[in-house]
Amino acid sequence: MAPSIDSVLIIGGSGFLGLHLIDQFFKLEPRPAIHVLDIRPLPAVSPKFYSFDPDHVHFHKADITNVESIRAVLKIAVPSVVVHSASPVHGLGADIYRAVNVDGTAALLQAVAESTTVKAFVYTSSASVVYDGSDLKNADETFPIPAVAMDAYNDTKVQGERLVLDANKSSPQLLTCALRPSGLFGPGDRQLVPGMLDVLKTNGTVFQLGDNFNLFDFTYIGNVAHAHVLAGLALLDPARQDAVAGEAFFITNDTPVYFFTMPRTIWSHRGYVPKFIIKLPRDIGMGLAYLSEAWSALRGKQALFTRFRVAFTCANRYFNISKAKQFLGYEPLVSLEDGVLKTLQWIDEEEKLKK
């Protein structure tokens, strides 16, 4: 008999990925009770992009660094599956990343380990946990995690993932796994696609870092949410538990493209194609980024143009998702092209609402 989920608690359910997690769990048959733990209330969403009924989602305001508040939510939600998708966006301070990705994850694991109902814990990690600035070509889960992380965000994601996977060994009744998505975009995206559109607005489309022969994995957000549902079901399935529990899985669209293909596709859908391109070699980009970081440090601010971003843009960074296909039954539901169209439609809808 196929496993089912009676109740799910989505940590960070008001966020970018969180709303799509609600959407995917809402589509399950039988439908579980859906609970959200977040410090922000659920935003209003358009039925054009999300199919769930907000009246069927139970919201709980709580701080994930506070064990007592988590315990209180668990008593109300009585979930069999907990999905931890809360994570601050890039560009913030190290203290914020530690508070959420490390301290918050530790508090959650402590609370769920005490619960008598939680059987499965799925953690949203990042494909960047194995990234050290060099090329990742068809990287799979055997690739080692670097001794030194590229930045505070990735360092705390590594620590959070280790806490989750180690908890699988220390908590006999709790099964855990971690998903490592790459390059998220889709409706609700406030960073990747909007950032590429900002380049169009500021006439920066003629500049290219590197030679653009580097392949990169961008991933539609709905596909990532779908993978989390599959992971939760797999952890509850006695026939698949041993292959999934304590494991990490890369999640992508399985369609790597040359890095600048993505922004140029987005720009072309806005009716723009650059007439010429100015290529900046990687070394020059790294030098400019160093100056940007130094200037930002002097002003006590977080640099936006960093050596990490230059390395990220110029490196091959694509992944082998055979493990997720084999053990989670994962296949992308939405193609890159359709994902881009959905994202741009959502952005258009948002802009209309602002007028």
Residue type for position 207: F
Nearest by Cα to 151 from 302, 260, 294, 283: 302
Tell me if the bond preceding 30 is cis, omega within 30° of 0.
yes
157 is catalytic: yes
Which residues are CB-neighbours of 88 under 8 A, at least 6 positions away? 96, 97, 100, 101, 153
Q: At what angle do helices 221-236 and 16-26 cross, to 10 degrees?
A: 60
Catalytic entry in 119, 157, 323, 342: 157
- What distance in Å separates the CA atoms of residue 29 and residue 48, rounded to the nearest whole number? 21
Nearest by Cα to 54 from 12, 17, 22: 22
CA 289 to chain CA mean position, Å? 25
- What distance in Å separates the CA atoms of residue 352 and residue 163, rounded to the nearest whole number? 43
**Residue 127: count of CB within 10 angstroms of its CB:** 25
> Which tokens sit at 139?
């990287």
Residue whose structure tokens are 């007028």: 355
Which residues are CB-neighbours of 203 under 8 A, at least 6 positions away? none
CB-based contact 279:211 (threshold 8 Å) = yes
**Geometric angle at alpha carbon 156, from 153 and 159, rounded to 5°:** 150
Residue whose structure tokens are 């990234």: 131
> Which tokens sit at 251?
């999640």
Q: What is the DSSP letter of 54?
A: G
> Which tokens sit at 302?
């977080």
> Which tokens sit at 310?
């230059």
Cα atoms in the Cβ-side hemisphere of radius 13 Å centred on 24: 23
- What distance in Å separates the CA atoms of residue 139 and residue 149, rounded to the nearest whole number? 17
Tell me the catalytic residues.
157
